[in-house]
Structure 1
């Protein structure tokens, strides 16, 4: 039986991947870099240190990684101060599952943005623990952030479910040993090998119910 649930944030609870892409694309262009065809796919799941280094070293942005991270995160925070793009059904899913199961968040967003989003939406008290990949050695697709979340909830990974959307997120949760539920965004579909790791694939969060989790094998 599933004893706890760990949610990704970007692309699962909030429709933020298009915002991240717009902000980072504009930043790369302004700083004299070049956006490559596979850049967005590669960035999804990276920790702050990883993606800021990638923009600086691989895309030719004329700034050190620490500056890249600081300036991009500031732009994201400014966007969230105006609007947090909460996905349809996200709050209801959190409340529905949280009524009987402990919940955590395992996100690639920096701590400042996790706290800003969950506080603004009123969902922060619903989670027993929240983790950023900034706070573990490696970002997704490595399993570190999911292992940390399961440990904080006091359950073995095998008894936890993960709710994910991206290729690297699905890989991270699966490698950690959680039972993976995919809720992919149509604009950013996961790679076939990553999608195949999910025990269930949902069209919307409205389908995420205790009954569905009880049926995961």
Structure 2
């Protein structure tokens, strides 16, 4: 099949935000007398806003609503990003390089407010034909909903898209949508072996993403 579009994840692919998310959500749980479990961070990765806020309010903290959790955490994340998001090396160049080659989409578990904030601060918002937060679909990653919705917005069959992902749930989501997946694992939160096996290519960094590589896949 021809390559018609490239769909990026945001957190862990273009920005090194997973440590910030963990610090902010862990801090929220601690400040409300909650309990952070050994598998909490891995479970949260890929969840939509509704899903992670409900999980924290139900399983980790007593006496708060999911709406209160989401508002407090997203507000703190916005403040952390105000001085500039934690951009990963090669992110801006990769976006510009690939946008000149094929239409770009973005499917992120971040809330819409943070997606727009980050892309606007980087000055690349105009390079994406479609962007989507999984809070705008029925289910977050590893469900394929977000990737399928972005492909639909771009009017491109998902099987003609390459997705760029880093996490286990993200890899599973893009693969379930029928996309060819390129993994760029993050050392701090590496994907599981079974999820990584779903990738057509494992790249060491964003600089490795070239039109020639993606076309060959």
TM-score (norm 2): 0.98
Q: Partner of 2:117 in structure 1?
A: 116
- Once residues 63 and 83 of structure 2 are traced to their aligned partners in structure 1, the CA distance between those partners, rounded to angstroms, is 28
Q: What residue ranges of structure 1 are gaps of 5+ in the alignment?
A: none
Q: Partner of 2:22 in structure 1?
A: 21
Shift of 1:154: 1.3
- Once residues 196 and 209 of structure 1 are traced to their aligned partners in structure 2, the CA distance between those partners, rounded to angstroms, is 21
Q: Which runs of 4 or more aligned residues in structure 1 lie more than 2 Å from their structure 2 counterparts after TM superposition?
A: none
- SS of the residue corresponding to residue 162 of structure 2 reads strand
Q: Partner of 1:186 in structure 2?
A: 187
Summarize the alignment of residues 66-85 of structure 1 with structure 2, pairs less than 5 Å apart.
Answer: 66-85=67-86
- Once residues 130 and 120 of structure 2 are traced to their aligned partners in structure 1, the CA distance between those partners, rounded to angstroms, is 13
Task: Give yes or no for contact 1:131–1:149 (8 Å, CA) kept in 2.
Answer: yes
Counterpart check, 1:154 vs 2:155: yes
RMSD: 0.7
- SS of the residue corresponding to residue 114 of structure 1 reads helix
Shift of 1:61: 4.3
Counterpart check, 1:143 vs 2:140: no
Q: What residue ranges of structure 2 are gaps of 5+ in the alignment?
A: none
Summarize the alignment of residues 177-216 of structure 1 with structure 2, pairs less than 5 Å apart.
Answer: 177-216=178-217
Shift of 1:153: 1.2
Task: Give yes or no for contact 2:84–2:121 (8 Å, CA) kept in 1.
Answer: no
- SS of the residue corresponding to residue 73 of structure 2 reads helix
- Once residues 63 and 204 of structure 2 are traced to their aligned partners in structure 1, the CA distance between those partners, rounded to angstroms, is 40
Summarize the alignment of residues 30-49 of structure 1 with structure 2, pairs less than 5 Å apart.
Answer: 30-49=31-50
